[in-house]
Amino acid sequence: MEATNIINEIISGFTIALVLIPESIAFSLLLGFPPSVGLISTAIMSSITSLFGGCPTLISGATGAIATSLLGVKALYGTQYVFLTAIIGGFIQLLFGISGLYKYFSNISQPLMTGFLIALGVLIAKSQIKNFKYPNTENWFKDSDNYKLTGTLLFSLISLFIAVFGKFMYNLSYKTKSIKINIPGALSAIVLLSILYYIIPIKETIEIVGDRGGAKITNLAFNVPNVELTSANILKVLPFAVAMAITGLTESIFMVDDTSKQLKIISSPLIETLAQGVGNIISGLCGGFGGCVFVGLSKYNVENGSKTRLSSRATSLFFIALTLMFSSTINKIPMPAIIGIMIMIAFKTGTAKYDYLIKNFKSEWLIILLTASLGIYSESLALAIIVGFIVQQAIKYIKSI
């Protein structure tokens, strides 16, 4: 690899690691867990898939798709059953891989995948709403409280603008060589918003990452879920585990295929399926709730010029280092910097099939709208895919009569 590519992939990995921290915390809080649970999930998933996954530039961790799949089991049965669900979901993914069923995820129709991604993008954007509410309450920020709502909204929009348009190239001259360094817009947003936060007297107006629970991994240890392994208990969580496995592989294998086409490389959906399964099993055994590939962040990684595993491995290493050794520094990043970036990621996720949507909406609108609306309303992407598939096959059957 050339020095330019090495530097750019490391910078991309560092930027994505910074974004992963508050995102992992947010999805952990969504499930009612302390921040460390989401951080553990991302640390394990990103490490395993960056080392052994089937596609070099993919970023895995505690995603919103997986978190929403587990809301039901958390509400009905409690914390320990979530960990058990992650483990069983991982074994189901291994079964999909070994049996060859993983191939069907590559053959999900374009209308279904378009609706799935639109729903996923909306759910990611929706998850950012909590950042405009006081922690652990349903109360919105008030402008009477130091203009908290206006300040957060304004700085989030500034962050979004910088994240979208703030990407630039920096030419570094070294001896006789000129190295072009790619500075991602997201990194520019984090740095500039952090500078603004500390030079303008707005500390009472804007929350920081530390206000949302803190970016430090704690209690990372091998720990079998405290659940009696009876057939009754396994059957309790089996539907949730199946939903988790289907949702995770739908998102992950789509990105394997999409990235392979974009980078013109040969990747392995089978290897990615097995890596996802192993990652979820280990995550559940270490007090995490598992995860899958991030669509938006993986696309952003490629946009930053990444082409090899260096970027995904750098993301994993930076994430672990930041959460173990530099959490006090990360805790000082203003939340609006992250909110703006996440809105950008949500948009990239929801519009991942934009070209197909524009060309085929007239003929495929029913399946696209059904899958998207059901996924958004139910917050179950697996249910949306299954129902959308059934309706699609029914339409094909009726047309063939």
Q: Using one digit for the tens of pLDDT, what is the confidence trace for 176-232?
A: 566 677 788 888 999 999 999 988 877 778 888 888 777 777 767 788 899 998 999
* pLDDT score at 25: 85
DSSP 119-166: HHHHHHHHHGGGGGB-TTSSPBP-TTTTTHHHHHHHHHHHHHHHHHH-
- Of 27-31, 136-140, 163-167, 249-253, which one has max mean pLDDT? 249-253
Helix 3-30 and helix 335-350: axis angle, to 10°? 100
Query: Which helix (DSSP H) or strand (DSSP E) does residue 183 occupy?
Result: strand 177-183
* pLDDT score at 176: 54
Rg (CA), the chain: 21
Query: What mean pLDDT comes out for the span 321-331?
Result: 88
Query: What mean pLDDT comes out for the span 355-368?
Result: 86
The more confident residue out of 173 and 302 is 302
Dihedral sign, Cα of residue 115, residue 117, residue 123, residue 125: negative
Query: Which helix (DSSP H) or strand (DSSP E) does residue 320 occupy?
Result: helix 309-325
Q: pLDDT, tens digit, for every residue of 336-351? A: 998 998 899 899 889 8
DSSP 293: E
DSSP 295-314: HHHHHHHHHTT--SHHHHHH
* pLDDT score at 357: 86
**φ/ψ of residue 296, rounded to 5:** -60, -45
Query: How far is 57 from 260, CA to CA, in rounded Å?
Result: 10
Q: Helices (DSSP H) in 169-293: which residue ranges?
A: 185-199, 231-263, 269-285
Query: How far is 130 from 335, CA to CA, in rounded Å?
Result: 11
What are the Cα distances from residue 309, in Å, to 63, 268, 306, 364, 374?
A: 20, 14, 8, 36, 35
125-139, 267-281, 315-329: least confident range: 125-139
* pLDDT score at 175: 58
Confidence tier at 399 by pLDDT (50, 70, 90) = confident
- Would the pLDDT of 174 be above 70? no
Burial 190-201 (b: 16+ CB within 10 A, else e): bbebbebbeeee
Confidence tier at 251 by pLDDT (50, 70, 90) = very high
Cβ atoms within 10 Å, residue 383: 18
For residue 387 the two structure tokens come to 């129902």
- Would you give the end-to-end CA distance of the chain in angstroms? 57
Query: What mean pLDDT comes out for the span 98-105?
Result: 94
Query: What mean pLDDT comes out for the span 157-175?
Result: 80
189-203, 204-218, 250-264, 265-279: least confident range: 204-218
- Would the pLDDT of 311 be above 80? yes
* pLDDT score at 177: 64
* pLDDT score at 78: 93
Query: How far is 24 from 214, CA to CA, in rounded Å?
Result: 11
* pLDDT score at 216: 78
Q: Is 179 helix (H, G, I), strand (E, B) or coil?
A: strand
DSSP 6-65: HHHHHHHHHHHHHHHHHHHHHHHHHTT--HHHHHHHHHHHHHHHHHH-SSTT--EES-HH
Q: Environment class of residue 53 by beta-carbon count within 10 Å: exposed (0-12), middle (13-18) or buried (19+)?
A: buried
- Would the pLDDT of 72 be above 60? yes
Domain boundaries, the chain: 6-139+211-400
Q: Which of 221, 227, 104, 203 is nearest to 155 (CA)?
A: 203
Burial 158-181 (b: 16+ CB within 10 A, else e): bbbebbbebbeeeeeeeeeeebee
Average pLDDT of the chain is: 89
Estimate to the nearest angstrom the gap between the alpha carbon of 264 and the chain centroid: 24
Confidence tier at 26 by pLDDT (50, 70, 90) = confident
- Would the pLDDT of 126 be above 60? yes
Confidence tier at 172 by pLDDT (50, 70, 90) = low
* pLDDT score at 35: 85
Query: What mean pLDDT comes out for the span 235-259?
Result: 95
Confidence tier at 133 by pLDDT (50, 70, 90) = confident
Query: How far is 195 from 308, CA to CA, in rounded Å?
Result: 32
What are the Cα distances from residue 14, in Å, to 26, 170, 304, 309?
A: 19, 17, 12, 14
* pLDDT score at 87: 97
* Contact in structure between 209 and 24 (CB atoms under 8 Å): no
Using a pLDDT cut of 70, give the percent of the chain over it: 96
Q: pLDDT, tens digit, for every residue of 364-385? A: 889 999 999 999 998 889 899 9
* pLDDT score at 40: 94
Q: Which of 261, 225, 193, 194 is nearest to 55 (CA)?
A: 261
Query: Which helix (DSSP H) or strand (DSSP E) does residue 181 occupy?
Result: strand 177-183
- Would the pLDDT of 173 be above 80? no
